[in-house]
Amino acid sequence: MTTKVRIKYEKKGQLRFLSHLEVKRVLERAVKRAGMALEYSHGFNPRPKMIYGTASSVGLASEAEFVDLVLTQPQSPVEVIKRLNRALPPDIKATVAMELPPGAKPVMAIAAASRYRLSCRGSSPDAIGEALAKLAGQAGYVISRQKLDRVKHIDVGPMILDYEPPHQAGSDVELDICIKDTTEGSAKPREVIEALNAFFGLDVDLVMAVRTAVLTKKNEKLISVL
Amino acid sequence: MDDLSFKIEKLLGQVSKPARYINSEINAIHKDWDTAWLKTVLIYPDIYDVGLPNLGLQILYGIINSREGWVAERAYLPWLDMIELMRAGDVPLFSLESQRPLMDFDVIGITLQHELTYSNIVHILSLAGIPRFSVDRDSSHPLIIGGGPAAFNPEPVADFFDAFIIGEAEDAIIEFLSVCEASAGSRQQLLEDLVKIPGVYIPSFYQPVYKDGRFAGIKKVNDQAPDRVTKRVIDDLDRIDIPTRPIIPYIDVVHDRSSVEVMRGCTRGCRFCQAGMIYRPLRERSPAKVKDAVESIIETGGYDEISLSSLSSADYSPIEALLEELSPLMVKDHVTISLPSLRVDSFSIELAARLSQVRKSGLTLAPEAGTQRLRDIINKGVTDDDIEAAATKIFTQGWQKLKLYFMIGLPGETQEDIIGIANIARKIRHLAFDILPKKQHSRIAIIVSVSNFAPKPNTPFQWFGCNSMDELLSKQDLLKDELRLSHVKFKWHDAEQSMFEAALARGDRRLGLVIADCADNGQILDAWSDYFSYQRWGEAFARAGYDIEQLATAGLADDDALPWAHIDCGVSVDWLLEEKSRAMTGEATPDCREECSGCGLCPDLGLKNMVGECR
């Protein structure tokens, strides 16, 4: 009988520059080093069964990344966190673990939005707040994303679900923003800033973006996963 | 965060694969800088992806860091986008662990694995803001030292280095750094102290002599220096700790596995093979030590694959018993054990079959030459029957993919030998179709990989030149025609790159200026075919009055002065000459396990061949 444990972990410091694939390998090796009894896939090239949450882009720090582990025997979530953290590099850290009920859907399938904390420079909190008020929810502010040889057009406004008024925090302007996370696509924090600069005449420099939560819909309300 | 670290972090958001420059890899060693008194940085002169897996540097990293007060950090050549940003932003080349400029270190150790990294060395020094030529440095600069297999002819890069350690450095590095640690005097004084250590070569203590534009010998200009520098050898491998805490990279590196070295040296004596000569004599590690190491690597690393490395691991005498002991680990910990090189015989294939219980990928065999006559010339003791038997076993065991390694341009080669390569490929293809069940036929793949012979110093073939460019190209063309067969893929090595390697491998000290000049003209990353430029190298050689092809193809007379003659790899020149003439008559030289052929190494270095009797 296998059990599934959902892990919430953070990714910060220089390790925010790891790609999703690189993070996966870090976790896979940590699980091995931690000596955890994971279920393996069959075939010529068996891999531990681990189900990852939505990929976060290179450079984005996060306090809300997810991975589900399929264990061959039940283990207390506290023990799982302890063992994992002993095997992980310091800038990736498991923070919460929870045993999943049978049939629980993966994070990827239930994620509806992500909340971010952005630190910016170059414009005042008021100027950013005014521009955001015009952008949020409004269609027509389209920016393009180059991916290899394809160009994707992203209508940024409708992706912004919600935000807190920006405020000064030391030398940076801090801003909390909630962006839609759908299977059809999403906007990156960097792209929101890009739209502010392109359509509202700002000159904002994004210093750091942190994902603070992944949200899922429950009874028509958005709540945090774990 | 200090200023440099802040600058580096800014760059990470703008470059490809930023994880190449991140220092928190599992098992990286971060020692306290302020309380340390001897700081070294070890460099593989290519990018992180290629350099990180290098076992030699991992061994030295462990040895140096295990001493109190000594620090060993790592640095690599950054990728081109990073180099550009560093130059634009005035960021000097930095070490990974403490992110300090290389100028802050006492000693910089650079491994010389092959000639295609030489232009990178010039870039590394220039990115670090360190004068590239040793004559322009003094005790205010780090001491630049080199080692590794290509240091057996250090002359083409001799002007860049203050010192070399020739041979195996596990003991010598401690002696060397102890002298550095105690030194308070001038650079010259330090070098004079260092030269007393066996195996240490100080290039500035020797002066090459040229006559009519040709290298004519080397003259000692410092009385302290030995006439010949004899390589260092570790008498007993069990004395040397196996690195069991391998650094785990974040990025996908070239060899994504950990290795445990089971033995050093090879007894087979292939006449073209430099490794087979310079790593003599054969020394095996005890299987108990190997097993312990594999177990701790599984615990500390989390790698999926552990390679039992050596020049020919199927020749490791206790290999069967060792694999027997390791097989429960493979199942329990989901680890693959691999042997990097297989012999052409069915014993090797049986070993491989046993290892693939977890994973099954393709196999590689290296017959090296297409006919028995040419294999006798190169002393590759493999017969047509051996090749057939090995291939039969491979397909019987169920593999559908087989890679074959050959070399062209060997001394004494004729058209018949080239056709012979195609004949072997055809025969093996035939066997595959005969043996494998019909429904697997579509997956059959025979890959014929052909490289070009380039003479290497300290081998019986060092006196032969390469084939000319035209000859190599026409041989490649012939093979392209002959191997136009379904399920057979022909891969060949770039002839220009081989030509260049050969010109440098046997080069003398005058090539240092050519390397610096070409690097200044933008040449970098020669091991990467996208960046290697034969034309740019040709121009740089021409500016100094040389021709790459002429240097590469030149045959040397038996009594010609050799630029590396003052570096003693243990094998005697007389024996190399005997081997050369035996090659010409196709006379076999036995494996040292069977009979000593008197290469002179063991008695001269006070060693004993572990598996055979020395003459």
Cβ–Cβ contact A59 with B under 8 A: yes
DSSP 8-state symbol, B17:
S
CA angle A168, A172, A178 (to 5 degrees): 75
Q: How far apart are CA B602 and CA B571, in angstroms?
A: 9
Q: How far apart are CA B180 and CA B173, in angstroms?
A: 10
Q: Do A32 and B302 touch (CB under 8 A)?
A: yes
Q: Residue B614: what pLDDT?
A: 53
Q: Residue B610: what pLDDT?
A: 63
Which of the four pLDDT bands, split at 50, 70 and 90, describes residue B612? Answer: low
Mean of pLDDT over chain A: 92
Name which of A18, A44, A46 is nearest B334 (Cβ-Cβ): A46
Q: Which residue has the higher pLDDT, B513 or B602?
A: B513
Residues B58 and B66 sit within 8 Å (Cβ to Cβ): no
Which of the four pLDDT bands, split at 50, 70 and 90, describes residue B146? Answer: very high
- Contacts for B597 with CB less than 8 Å, ≥ 6 apart: B269, B575, B589, B590, B615
Task: Name the stretches of chain A with pLDDT < 70.
Answer: 44, 183
Nearest chain A residue (CA) to B1: A13
B575 residue type, one letter: W
Strand partners, B567: B229
Q: Residue B351: what pLDDT?
A: 86
What is the rounded average pLDDT of the residues B477-504?
96
Nearest chain A residue (CA) to B28: A89
Residue contacts between A and B (CB atoms, under 8 Å): 62
Nearest chain B residue (CA) to A45: B359
Q: How far apart are CA B396 and CA B394, in angstroms?
A: 5
CA distance A46 to chain B (A): 8
Name which of A13, A18, A33 is nearest B19 (Cβ-Cβ): A18
What is the rounded average pLDDT of the residues B301-309?
86
Q: Residue B358: what pLDDT?
A: 42
Closest CA to B248 of A90, A26, A48: A26
Range with the poorest average pLDDT among A206-210, B107-111, B194-198, B297-301: B297-301
Cβ–Cβ contact A140 with B under 8 A: no
Name which of A22, A33, A46 is nearest B302 (Cβ-Cβ): A33
Mean of pLDDT over chain B: 94
Which of the four pLDDT bands, split at 50, 70 and 90, describes residue B61? Answer: very high
Cβ–Cβ contact A171 with B under 8 A: no
Which of the four pLDDT bands, split at 50, 70 and 90, describes residue B349? Answer: confident
Which of the four pLDDT bands, split at 50, 70 and 90, describes residue B144? Answer: very high
Q: Do A48 and B9 touch (CB under 8 A)?
A: no
For an interface test with B, the pick among A12, A15, A22, A41 (most B C-beta atoms closer than 10 Å) comes out as A22
Q: Residue B613: what pLDDT?
A: 57
Q: Which residue has the higher pLDDT, A35 or B179?
A: B179
Name which of A14, A19, A26 is nearest B12 (Cβ-Cβ): A14
Q: Do B25 and A89 touch (CB under 8 A)?
A: yes
Nearest chain B residue (CA) to A92: B24
CA distance A4 to chain B (A): 20
CA distance B28 to chain A (A): 10
Q: What residues in A contact B15, CB-CB < 8 Å?
A: none
- Identify the H or E element spanning A180: strand A172-182
What is the rounded average pLDDT of the residues B94-114?
97
What is the rounded average pLDDT of the residues B193-212?
97
CA distance B10 to chain A (A): 9
End-to-end CA, chain B: 62
Nearest chain A residue (CA) to B357: A44
Q: Report whether pLDDT(B615) > 80.
A: no
Q: How far apart are CA B436 and CA B426, in angstroms?
A: 16
CA distance A117 to chain B (A): 18
Q: What residues in B contact A33, CB-CB < 8 Å?
A: 26, 299-302
Q: Report whether pLDDT(B357) > 50.
A: no
Q: Do A28 and B359 touch (CB under 8 A)?
A: no
Q: Residue B1: what pLDDT?
A: 58
Q: Do A22 and B251 touch (CB under 8 A)?
A: yes
Q: Report whether pLDDT(B97) > 70.
A: yes
| Joined tokens for residue A35 | 């000596």
DSSP 8-state symbol, B464:
S
Q: What residues in B contact A14, CB-CB < 8 Å?
A: 9, 12, 22-24
Backbone angles phi, psi at B490, to 5 degrees: -100, 125
Q: How far apart are CA A71 and CA A75, in angstroms?
A: 8
Q: Do B12 and A17 touch (CB under 8 A)?
A: yes
Name which of B298, B301, B334 is nearest A40 (Cβ-Cβ): B334
Q: How would you classify the pairing of strands B258-261 and B206-211? A: unpaired
Residue located via tokens 């470059």: B15
Q: What is the pTM of this model?
A: 0.94
What is the rounded average pLDDT of the residues B336-351?
84
Q: Do B13 and A26 touch (CB under 8 A)?
A: no
Here the contacts of B432-440 (C-beta below 8 Å, separation 24 or greater) are B432/B391, B432/B395, B432/B400, B432/B402, B432/B487, B435/B392, B435/B395, B435/B396, B436/B395, B436/B398, B436/B400, B440/B400
Name which of A13, A22, A46 is nearest B250 (Cβ-Cβ): A22
Share of chain B above pLDDT 90, in %: 85
